[in-house]
Amino acid sequence: MHGSPPDDVWDLRRVTAADVPALVRGADVLGSGGGGDARPAGLMFGHAVGDGYVRLLDPDGATHLAVSFVGMVGAASAFTEELAGGGEFARALRAIERWSRRSATALASIEAAGLNGVTALATAVWCDLPVVDVDLCGRALPRLDQFSLAVVDGALPPLALALPRGQVVLVDGGDAVRCERVVRAVLAAEGGWAALATAPVVREDWSLEGPVRATRRCLELGARLEALGTSASPDDVVAALGARLLGAGRVVEVARHAGAGFGRGSVCVRDQQTSALLRLEMENEYLVVFEDGAPVATAPDLLVVVERRTARVVACDRIRRGDDVVVLQLPAPAFWARPEHVGRVMPRSFGLDVDPVLVAQPAGAAW
């Protein structure tokens, strides 16, 4: 067992090594083409947890816990090349606890998608804490100023960065945009990635502070994909994910463009049935889908590309001409669909002059 909160906190479930395949596949779906490959983090968690488990707590029962949000920031490729030993995440947490003079009684992910869909669970093993099923993104997002706490509070809590070569950097004060710039400057000079932990935060209603139950969503979506096996049809994948089918066919063109910030690119897919041309605009994630020039789906919804034969997610940095793919749209977390929040993650926040085109959440959705 790992993590022992007070007895009056309601357990959502126990997450074990047996959950890793579903967790990884679901986290890749929530990555919307980005967030980094979740498999290395899945291996890290599986090795750390062994025969034990991590307690995943529902946010409605965790309002009195001091929650530190943890995860990897920087280039996922750098993380894969220079894998964490595990000590980085615990080092970041202990440093911010010393700085803030407050101990965390639970952890949560900064971004329950891609590799960060798993890193908080691994950190929970190393630090012997439970995980609250709330995060700051509910999907993959590229910038710290897009974290939900920055949207709600106008600033981020103090945070610590533990670098892979041993240094710890504390960032406190200033608005979220300035914080993002400082963190990016540190990462550029020191290996490309770092483990991040925020000062512990207490909230009365987590659903007002950020996306909730994204890890539960990862586990459910991943389990459904695992159950499909190989050679599932596009309709099978649509039904398993509760998605909207945008098209299916061969990738006919991939264009990538370097820029001053994150790289940009576009992908064109010729639909096999209708011959319509789908164009996906991408940065770190897929952001907009056009059909014959008209926008049909946008962020903050999850725009997901899967390989037709295996139903495995095809990330932005791995998609290639000739790939046989299915293009899907899944609803955004409820937090980002709210009118007061959507402006921070819609296409214009990425420099694309397109209005949001979103699908409705299913009735009774928990996230």
pLDDT digits (tens, 9 = 90+) for 140-180: 999 999 999 999 999 999 999 999 889 999 999 889 999 99
Confidence of residue 7 (pLDDT cuts 50, 70, 90): very low
367/175 Cα distance (integer angstroms)? 28
**What are the tens digits of pLDDT across the range 242-260?**
999 999 999 999 999 886 6
Q: In this model, does residue 138 exceed pLDDT 80?
A: yes
> Per-residue DSSP letters for 214-235?
HHHHHHHHHHHHHHH-SS--HH
Q: Are 117 and 72 in contact (CB under 8 A)?
A: no
Q: What is the pLDDT of residue 82?
A: 73
**What are the tens digits of pLDDT across the range 174-195?**
899 999 999 999 999 998 999 9
Side-chain-facing half-sphere of 289: CA atoms under 13 Å: 31
Tell me the two tokens of residue 177: 């945009």
Three-state DSSP state, 279: strand
**pTM of the predicted protein model:** 0.94
Q: Long-range contacts for 182-188 (Cβ within 8 Å, ≥24 apart)?
A: 183/73, 183/144, 186/161, 187/73, 187/74, 187/75
70/339 Cα distance (integer angstroms)? 27
Residue 74 dihedral angles phi and psi, to the nearest 5°: 120, -160
Q: In this model, does residue 262 exceed pLDDT 90?
A: no
Where does 251-295 have alpha helices with state H? none
39/107 Cα distance (integer angstroms)? 21
Contacts of 10 (CB under 8 A, 6+ apart): 57, 58, 60, 61
- In order of their start, the domains of the chain are 11-214 (3.40.1610.10), 230-350 (2.40.390.10)
Q: In this model, does residue 6 exceed pLDDT 80?
A: no
